[in-house]
Amino acid sequence: MVEHVLAHLPQKPALNTLELYAGAGLFSLFLAEHSRELIAIESSPSACFDFANNLDSYDNVRLYEGPVEQVLPALMDELPSLDLVLLDPPRAGLHPRARESLEKLSSEHIVYISCDPSTLARDLKRLCAAGYKLEDLHLFDMFPQTYHLETMAILQRG
């Protein structure tokens, strides 16, 4: 999945990147090298502890601990113009407040990773209505011999 994300990065020398639901920093670890600034939000204290340890060597990374639907709206005025937003929300998908903030950010690209096709479809419908276009949709069978699939949707503004 990381290789797929990296293959679809915007072609810019240094990105302003936002990662929502960042977990322990799996994607951030690889995106930090391509980012001028990487801002991450995660609600789990233990995941934040691991994130801080995993990305300690990067000076261009900021981590905010708290629910995305609370932290993101509070950060709106201080975020730079974003080239990329990567999000991997829980099964429930995007909280309405988080989605509204994401729409207002108007990032050039969004990478949306989902483990639930129904909430992904719901959120993609709203993001496309807000001006995004679905560029790529890829399935990953991370749990062979089960019905679970991870889906990666890549959206572009305009």
Pick from 144, 93, 156: nearest CA to 123: 93
Q: In the prediction, which pLDDT does 9 show?
A: 87
The crossing angle, in degrees rounded to 10, of helices 96-105 and 117-129 is: 40
Domains of the chain with CATH codes = 2-157 (3.40.50.150)
Average pLDDT along the chain: 94
Is residue 115 part of the annotated active site? The answer reads: yes
Quote the pTM value.
Answer: 0.93
pLDDT digits (tens, 9 = 90+) for 39-73: 999 999 999 999 999 999 999 999 999 999 999 99
The HSE-up count of residue 77 (CA atoms within 13 Å, CB side) is 1
Catalytic residue among 68, 87, 102, 115: 115
